[in-house]
Amino acid sequence: MDAEKTGLIIRSWKQDVRVVWNTLAQRHVLARLVAVRIMYGMLAGLVLGPLAAGAIQWLTKSGGGEVISNFDLSAFFLSFQGMAFLVLTMTFALTVFFFEQSGMIIISRAS
């Protein structure tokens, strides 16, 4: 009896996936979803990339050498500036992630 219920659940799940996939394929929603993903990925890369590069440059200059050790990294992330860097970076990353997900939900819902 459990195997029978499991079979019904799997068939129902496959039908649901097929319906969603057909909806996405018919209305070119998949292309819009990919475009939203690429757009937000580029936004995150354009902002977070230079921010991380600036932090690394600041670390190398303040360390007095050309190499950053594990101790330099831990000292940075445990300092006030490091904590502020982490909070700002994570806040921006989560904001981009939530806007990306909301855009995808809006596109999917519109179809």
Assess contact for 100 and 40: CB atoms under 8 A. Answer: yes
Per-residue pLDDT for the chain (111 aa), expressed as one digit of tens each? 465 666 666 667 777 778 777 776 766 777 888 888 888 888 888 888 888 888 778 777 776 666 677 787 788 788 888 888 888 888 988 998 999 899 888 887 876
95 burial type by CB count under 10 A (0-12 exposed, 13-18 middle, 19+ buried): exposed
Residue 27 tokens, joined: 């209305």
Looking at residue 10, its pLDDT comes to 65
Residue 41: predicted pLDDT: 87
- The answer to whether the CB of 37 falls within 8 A of the CB of 100 is yes
Which of the 8 DSSP states describes residue 111? -
According to the model, what pLDDT value does residue 63 have? 62
The confidence score (pLDDT) of residue 65 equals: 64
Whole-number Å distance between alpha carbons of 76 and 83: 8
Would you give the DSSP letter of residue 38?
H
pLDDT score, position 98: 92
